[in-house]
């Protein structure tokens, strides 16, 4: 399991957690400002960057939906 913090131009700080479960990688992305967390599951053969970007896109989508925009 790994924990990482990255900065996104739109959201600011975003926390990521990557867990390997069998043949899958579960990536969680958390926006600490709103406490909204999303998870995506992908292949362990996918690059960590692409898995994190998928989680970030999902997080942004959920935040837009929750704000009504």
Domain ranges of the chain: 2-67
State pTM to two decimals. Answer: 0.89
Instruction: Give the chain's radius of gyration (CA, Å).
Output: 12
- Is 63 or 6 the better-scoring residue by pLDDT? 63
How, if at all, do strands 36-43 and 2-8 pair?
Answer: unpaired
What are the strands of the beta sheet with 12-21, ordered from one edge?
2-8, 12-21, 24-31, 36-43
pLDDT digits (tens, 9 = 90+) for 26-39: 999 999 999 999 99
- Is 28 or 69 the better-scoring residue by pLDDT? 28
pLDDT at 69 over 90: no
């Amino acid at each position: 399991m790994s924990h990482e913090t990255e900065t996104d131009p739109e959201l600011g700080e975003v926390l990521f957690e990557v867990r390997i479960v069998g043949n899958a990688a579960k990536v969680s992305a958390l926006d600490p400002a709103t406490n909204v967390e999303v998870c995506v599951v992908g292949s362990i053969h996918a690059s960590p960057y692409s898995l994190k970007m998928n989680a970030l896109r999902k997080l942004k989508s959920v935040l837009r939906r929750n704000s009504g925009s």
